[in-house]
Amino acid sequence: MTPFTPLTYDALTIGEEFVSDTLLVTPEDVETYAFAVDDHHPWFSGASPFGGALAHPTFAGNQALRLRHSRYVVHAGLHAKMQFEFLEPIRVGMRVRSRGRVIDKYVRRGKQYMVTEFVTEDDKGTPLVRGQFTQMLIPA
Amino acid sequence: MAIAPPLAIGQELPPLEKELTQRHIDAYSGVRVRSIHTDEAWARRKGFRTTLAQGMMSTAYVSEMMTALLGAGFVKGGSMSVAFVQPVYAGDRLTVRGVVKELRAEAGHTRVVVDVWCENQHGHKTAVGTASGLAP
């Protein structure tokens, strides 16, 4: 059982780690993402230079962004910064998982922020996407 | 699928136009109660005039622009660093722009670095940063 607690600045610890559930990348998920961002590149539904259909490069971003939801009840937040490195394509049929670690938290101009680094991997542990994001916490 | 080189520093990329409907945001974020992205009453309670798009949707638009430029060299070997400087609301219309900033040799390829940004229908920048990838 996961004991969920409200996310607060004070509750966050630099160095704490998160792991997502594993997601099977289905054609339907890839199609829904393509609709959401209005990008219907042919590689998302057919052949690609990498041998088969791919997900959008940013497809797994939400899996990473929601890592903190694996432990905390998140009242509201705003995304301030995002960094991606696309190491390998995310292919349809892969099972992907993201791991993250809080690397900083700070207050600037009265606003509270947390910084998380993450990696999204396939089921063999191959890194697919690395990155870092900064989220502003909106107090309850 | 990619724009043919040669590329030049200062070259403007073809802009993208994006209409952000609530339906797009719902598909991106998943509909949840007490979400500033999909629950209008909650968004207003948090001080916003209506629901907000996820900032990361703008990274997807930049990714589309960079894939159009570099193809597989962005999908594998690309990178991006973006700051979200203004909220994007449901119903906004974004223009995604890029200008080639730097061309540098990297492991037998040319890394293309692009200044990227998104503007809303009022001409205000909503996201700014850089993206890069390997030229074909």
Residue B62 lies in a domain: yes
Domain architecture of chain A: domains with CATH: 5-26+61-137 (3.10.129.10)
Residue B92 lies in a domain: yes
pLDDT of residue B84: 97
Distance from chain centroid for Cα A3: 21
Please name the member of B18, B63, B71 whose beta carbon is closest to the beta carbon of A38: B18
Which residue of A29, A39, A56 is the best one to mutate when testing the B interface, meaning the one whose CB has the most B CBs within 10 A? Answer: A39
d(C-alpha B44, C-alpha B100), whole Å = 39
pLDDT of residue B85: 97
d(C-alpha A38, C-alpha B63), whole Å = 12
pLDDT of residue A95: 98
Residue B96 lies in a domain: yes
Residue B37 lies in a domain: no
Residue B52 lies in a domain: no
For A70-115, the pLDDT digits (tens) are 999 887 789 999 999 999 999 999 999 999 999 999 999 999 999 9
Please list, in sequence order, all residues whose beta carbon lies within 8 angstroms of the beta carbon of residue A134, skipping any fewer than 6 positions away: A79, A80, A81, A82, A113, A114, A115
Q: Are B128 and B96 in contact (CB under 8 A)?
A: no
Does the distance separating the beta carbons of B82 and A78 come in below 8 Å?
no
pLDDT exceeds cutoff 80 at A139: no
Q: What is the mean pLDDT of chain A?
A: 95
With a pLDDT cut of 90, the percent of chain A lying above it is 91
Residue B66 lies in a domain: yes
End-to-end CA distance of chain B: 10
For B3-41, the pLDDT digits (tens) are 556 899 999 999 999 999 999 999 999 999 999 999 999
How many domains is chain B built from? Answer: 1
The average pLDDT across B111-134 equals 98
pTM of the model: 0.95
Chain B residues within an 8 Å CB radius of A65: 56
pLDDT exceeds cutoff 70 at B2: no
| Least Cα separation, residue B83 to chain A (angstroms) | 4
**Structure tokens belonging to residue A21:** 């559930």
Does the distance separating the beta carbons of B71 and A36 come in below 8 Å?
no
Does the distance separating the beta carbons of A54 and B75 come in below 8 Å?
yes
Please list, in sequence order, all residues whose beta carbon lies within 8 angstroms of the beta carbon of residue B85, skipping any fewer than 6 positions away: B125, B126, B127, B128
User: B18 pairs with which residues across the strands?
Assistant: B94
The kind and range of the H/E element at B63 are helix B56-70
| Least Cα separation, residue A13 to chain B (angstroms) | 24
Q: Which of A5-14, A72-81, B7-16, B103-112 has the lowest mean pLDDT?
A: A72-81
For A24-37, the pLDDT digits (tens) are 999 999 999 999 99
CATH of the domain at B110: 3.10.129.10
A80 touches chain B (CB under 8 A): yes
Does the distance separating the beta carbons of B84 and A80 come in below 8 Å?
yes
| Least Cα separation, residue A124 to chain B (angstroms) | 18
Which residue from B minimizes the CA distance to A127?
Answer: B76
Does the distance separating the beta carbons of B72 and A56 come in below 8 Å?
no
Residue B25 lies in a domain: no
Interface confidence, given as ipTM, is 0.95
Three-state helix/strand/coil letters over B75-136:
HCCCEEEEEECCCCECCCEEEEEEEEEEEEEECCEEEEEEEEEEECCCCCEEEEEEEEEECC
- The parent domain of residue B94 ranges over 57-134
Residue B29 lies in a domain: no
